[in-house]
Structure 1
Amino acid sequence: MTKPTFDMEAAIQALRDGKDLTGKDGILTPLIKQLTEAAMQAELEQHLQQDDSPNRKNGSTPKTVKSPSGSFELHTPRDRAGTFEPQIVKKHQTQLTDELERKIIALFSLGTSYQDIRCHIEDIYGIHVSNGTINSVTDKLLPELQAWRERELDAIYPIVWLDAIHYKIKEHGRFITKAVYTILGLNVEGKKELLGLYLSEHEGAHHWLAVLTDLYNRGVKDILIACVDGLLGFPEAIASIYPKTEIQHCIIHQIRNSLKYVASKNQKAFIADLKCVYKATTLAAAEMALDELEAKWGEKYPLVIKSWRNKWHTLSAYFKYPDYVRTAIYTTNAVEAVHRQFRKLTKTKGGFANENSLLKLLYAGMLQASERWTHPVQNWNLTLSQLSIHFEGRLDAHIEL
């Protein structure tokens, strides 16, 4: 067996001279090479001892191997019969460990471009990786993503936020805008959980119906409160699958939509009056403030007032709860925070080559974001008590009393 001939004194001197331990021409690269080749020789000798047929060593085959300590030429030993299968560095294996793959996926999860990933790997390890290699590594997320999208879910979620975000994806040679439907749930333990990511060409109640049907088929039999934007037909889509679910329209979405129809010179005064509506302490006070808003602005902006009147039942649902519950449900901020994380990942991307290239990036980003969702949301025990009262009996089988 070939013994390592690593020159320790030369390595120490190189270290004193400021030479890098790892990376291209790193001090440790020759040692890694020698130790690996020695271990493979030991593997071959053990194989020959256990082989009853006439067999012997038959030289070696060189190949370039990438390791975190740098690239080097590895001489893989052979046997005459061709029955030797090395295990330390297997046939066709070109990376010594999966550390590089983990590094590539970690960088990818931060939204790092392929070009920057290549530069980073080359700078740190002295290894050149192609876009094809990076794509092959990140594609390993796809089976994991599919399993995640098909996993069984809890039977009940006290609160669910639903919203969509839009991206450009290449199809048949041109980029088209598609909606990614995001469903964020709060489980009975008060912890956030992304229930699913769905892709469709358009955002609409019809497509949301398909999403909700999938949730039901994956085990979600009840939702207490669904927080949604102002999409037409959305409450009806939810009611068709979850007829007992309470709908809370997002107040922030409603305000934004209202301001589109208010002249810029009046917006400051209008918002001040509108704040008296949605910041009211009671439902009665809110309705009185809405009457005053209509008396002052109704003639000038009838469409805005009509919109608030038509949606008042679902816009005002949160008034029955104390402040700590209201904060959680009166907007879709929780799911929009997920979308802000997605936008950080995709801000340098003008468009995506296909659906998988987008979904695997969002999934990688979601895994990183969900690492912070290990604790219940604030005041969860109090919130759960309130929900148990307002939705009597529906939580009993799912919580420990």
Structure 2
Amino acid sequence: MSEQSSTSVPPISFSIPVVVRRHATEVATRWWRRDSAYLDHPRTTFAMLVQYDESIDAHLDGLLVAGSGGLDAVRNALATDAPDLSADIFAALAFAFLSEDEAAITSMLARTDALPGKAWALDGLFAWHDSPLVVTALTAHLSDANPRYRDAALAQCHTHRLSGGDHLSAILTGSTPELVSRALRTAGECGRVDLLAEVRAWLDPARRSDPAIRFWGAWTATLLNGLDEESLTVLQSFVDQGDSHQPHALKLICLSLPQSRVLEYLGKLSQSPLTPELMIKAVGWSGHAGYGNWLIEQMRVPALAATAAEAFRMITGFDCERSDAVLASPLGEEQFDAAIKDGYPYPAADQVAAWWHDNQSHYRDDARLFLGRPVSFAWLSEILDHGEQAHRELAALYWSLLQPGSMLLPTRAHSAIQWLRLQQLKGSTL
């Protein structure tokens, strides 16, 4: 894992302007694409993310080498009337902080303060550089007058292993309602067990808190102290209501409940109006090998096949692509494209069934399985080192559930920061 550059900006530029402008454009566009093309794509491996992040760093280094030419390029990119300049702001701020020139940093923060998209760019900046200057800036923004900038700083506290200090308790007990859900989530990400009472207070229906507040309150209470009946009731209400929090609530329930209760809960859900696709995902999250045959039957339903194959892999570790158990195009082209979910392959159900017939006896029904093995810190560590993004996010969540009070691994931060935080997590379990 390469270290991020920390060289000062050269005062004189002998660069080619068109090349420097290309560097600025590439930093902005690649950072913009990073979310949808890599972080939000479940099949992105950590190695792929490392390579992509290093490509952005290479263009930032190109700006840095250009000196004043690089500074001109990022400044000029900000001089437009676009409705969202977040990517260009990120490029400008990332360049300024990479220079380690405090005057340039102060100037760039001020120059971008009123531009549209600044909050998102700040969030991206705090997740990109791991330096004392970034930590100082993040800490300063925790008390910023603009709540959107405070939100961005709160969102990346765990990235830098910061606790959020008294800012979290002040929000949770004070009068800043627009930041409560973010503060609750940050308390969970930062392992703030000391704030458990303040977190639980937001689960009280009498407070008439909005859905985001109640969800993140239950989510954080579960990470800090396990899944108790109060949090379970709140999370189940989101599963039943079917709003945007539904899949996240269901995932946490399936990861947190003891195996016997997971089976009981999924049995009840099978009689509910839950969508078939989400039901299949829940079975995968349960980690119970007893669902193997049922998932294979779902693989024979075109619209559900890819989702079922991934749920089967979540439990057994069987990869249809690596095992050459994939059907190229069993349907019409448009139907086939619609049947493939999130880049997962369309399974050859008969081949999967044959493999399961030969290997089913090797899988214990009394163990929670994740990609074929019982959940353990050693296995989670391996997944976080080499796995796909969706699996790594689950592994990070599992880790916090197994070690309440630990910092959640920042799986959306720069890959170099992720690698460093993972080594620190590993050290905390020794």
Q: Tell me the TM-score normalised to structure 1 length.
A: 0.27
Q: Tell me the TM-score normalised to structure 2 length.
A: 0.25
Q: Which has the higher strand share?
A: 1
